[in-house]
Amino acid sequence: MVPIVGWVGYSPSMSDVIVIGGGLAGLAASVALAQAGVKVALLESRPRLGGRASSFEDATTGELIDNCQHVAMGCCTNFRHFCRATGLAAFFREEEQLTFVGPPDPSGRQLPKFCRFTATPFLGAPFHLGLALWRLSYLSFRDKFAIARGLFSLLKARPLTSDRTSFAEWLARQRQPASAIEYFWNVVLVSALSESLDRISFAAGRKVFVDGFLTNREGWKVSMPTVPLDELYSGTLAQWLAAHDVDVRLKTGVERLVMDEGEISAIELRNGERLTARQFVLAVPQQRASPLLPESIRTLIERLETAPIASVHLWFDRPITQLPHAVMVGRLSQWMFNRGEG
């Protein structure tokens, strides 16, 4: 989310704040502002809320299909607070354990190992997941020892914001075995950050492990929505916004920001209408934000890169597993989610 703030003359007939973009960032901003008693208008160019966290109707089955499987972790404290405040928490199921499916046998003669990953009762962080790591039976003792040593090194490290070290470089300095990198570090970070280890900064990779595994007993737990995302954001959350007097305008695209002496004085919509407010929040993807912004800011934003993520939905004529999910080790895909509601 890119916050853009501009002060103009205020009148009671206009919004205190206009939020541009109805994805999760814009929704979170709108909720926080509404809770503070601010008069908010939320503009979204699409016919539904949620942005990329949304659903579409499958033409063959008529089912609502999420764009991709979205999950939250226990360490996502701001998101969890957002869900509790708006009533969305009731539509998430928290998993008390994860199932890791070990790498395939190259000879094809043996089935992969299924390993249960859960916290040990009565042990506090960072020791609560020690037994879970030990249970990953597809890892050798050497791998487990190296991983444990690496995790404690992460806990003690204090990376500088100016540090350009990649996580792959840090792993090499830590003399992590190739098998530990492929079957543990890579599995966690690629699924969390959607990037390869050589393109993940050490600071970003460290944050995943420290926040998710090392400093909080609940941080590793995964929560999954039990209803389509469209029902979450365009249904339940839209009702919450209406009840808190947030002016939600769908199918309302912004053409440009009107600047006056370096400040935003208004926004111009694609239909030619002009809106004013005391402040503006720009909460759209960088490729959408770039055309709206001044040249000096646009140049910086256009340097940002994106990393795609792919999701494949498969239908079977019978149940194929009772597992609600599986972490796939040593494979192209990192996760499997069982959506077999019917």
Q: What is the pLDDT of residue 8?
A: 38
- C-beta of residue 27 within 8 angstroms of C-beta of residue 289: no
Q: Which two tokens stand for residue 78?
A: 């701001």
Q: How many residues does the chain have?
A: 342
Coil/strand/helix, residue 155: helix
The structural domains of the chain, ordered by start, are 2-90+226-301 (3.50.50.60), 96-220+312-337 (no CATH)
Instruction: Give one word for 183, left, alpha or beta, with left for phi > 0 and alpha for psi -120 to 50.
Output: alpha
Contact indicator for 216, 125 with CB cutoff of 8 Å: yes
Element (H, E) at 114: strand 114-117
Report long-range pairs for 77-82 (Cβ below 8 Å, ≥24 apart): 78/28, 79/28, 82/28, 82/31
Q: What is residue 106's predicted lDDT score, i.e. its pLDDT?
A: 86
Q: Cα separation of 50 and 44, whole Å?
A: 9
Q: Following DSSP, what letter does each residue of 57-104 receive, concatenated?
A: E-TTT--EEESS---EETT-HHHHHHHHHHTGGGGEEE-S-EEEEPPP
More confident residue, 2 or 334: 334
Of 82, 75, 336, 77, the closest CA to residue 220 belongs to: 75
Question: Going along 128-285, which residue ranges are E strands?
Answer: 222-225, 247-249, 254-260, 263-269, 274-275, 277-282
- The rounded distance, in Å, linking the Cα atoms of 184 and 178 is 10
pLDDT tens digits along 79-111? 999 999 999 999 999 999 999 999 998 888 889
- Look at residue 12 and tell me whether its pLDDT is greater than 50: no
Span 223-251, pLDDT tens digits: 999 999 999 999 999 999 999 999 999 99
Arithmetic mean of pLDDT, 280-288: 94
Q: Is the pLDDT of residue 70 over 80?
A: yes
Instruction: Quickly list DSSP for 179-194.
Output: HHIIIIIHHHHHHHHS
Q: Which helix (H) or strand (E) holds 17?
A: strand 15-20
Write out pLDDT tens, residues 260-277. 888 899 999 999 999 999
